[in-house]
Amino acid sequence: MLSLTNITVHFGQRTLFEHIDLFIGQRERVGLVGRNGAGKSTLLKIIAGIQRPSEGSVGLPKEAQIGYLPQEMEHNEEATILAEAMSAFAETQRLEERVEELSNELTNRTDYESLEYSRIIEELTAANERIDLLGGASQEEQVQRILQGLGFLAKDMSRTMSEFSGGWKMRVELAKLLLRSPDLLLLDEPTAHLDPPTAEALVRDLRAALTGRVVVCVTHDDDLAGPGDTVVELSATRPSADAAVR
């Protein structure tokens, strides 16, 4: 699913980390741990394609979809919980517009044996398959199910984002990522700045929501790693990441 090969990052004369090799397979969940300054968030950004390493490469399937949850997030404070989560389907709207464009183009073409005609058919098929994967007509029902799975009540759907704490807003952002059905989900310290009872409740809900997904999670919370999960310790004082399965 994901492979990191010889990943090295230099900042001027300082080496943040070097020669990191890591493979993450299907349905695997990885906790990325280490002291502050070891480069955990930087490595996550490299996997997400936001930042480039000084050396090395990231390998992913060509069509892989990545969902990235950073520590700092922007929200529409006046939107309701339901409306903010529904904004995850902007991709569906774009795809539906593209499907209409491609369908109209096919109607006006007669070069049925050409490579261009075949390319349009392939793109149209891929767009329709992606729409089906994202939920299609059942989107609002899907949104409410995922939000409730992350701890929201039915009566919360009409409340505005401004009424909730940072931890609950983060859950909305996580719901938006899950609704996009990414092949790889990257979480940067989802329990940071939460009090122990809130963090404990979030960990419980996260475990249920992330079942069967490929996840890389930067965390200081050991409780996030369950049985069978892989824990990778990143150290700025050692040349590579050490992995252990819990």
Asked if 38 and 242 touch (Cβ cutoff 8 Å), the reply is no
Residue 112, class by beta-carbon neighbours within 10 Å (0-12 exposed, 13-18 middle, 19+ buried)? exposed
Asked if 206 and 9 touch (Cβ cutoff 8 Å), the reply is no
pLDDT less than 50: residues of the chain: 237-246
Question: Which residues have CB under 8 Å from 137's CB, separation 6+?
Answer: none
Token pair of 20, please?
């990191």
* CA dist., res. 57 & res. 40, Å (int): 17
> What class, spelled out in words, does domain 2-64+183-245 have in CATH?
alpha beta
Is residue 181 helix, strand or coil?
A: coil
Is residue 22 helix, strand or coil?
A: strand
Per-residue pLDDT of 201-217, as tens digits, reads 777 777 777 777 888 88
Residue 153: Cβ within 10 Å count: 10
Residue from 81, 50, 40 nearest 170 by CA: 81
Domain ranges of the chain: 2-64+183-245, 81-164
Token pair of 204, please?
């419980």
CA angle 104, 109, 114 (to 5 degrees): 125
Token pair of 46, please?
């490299």
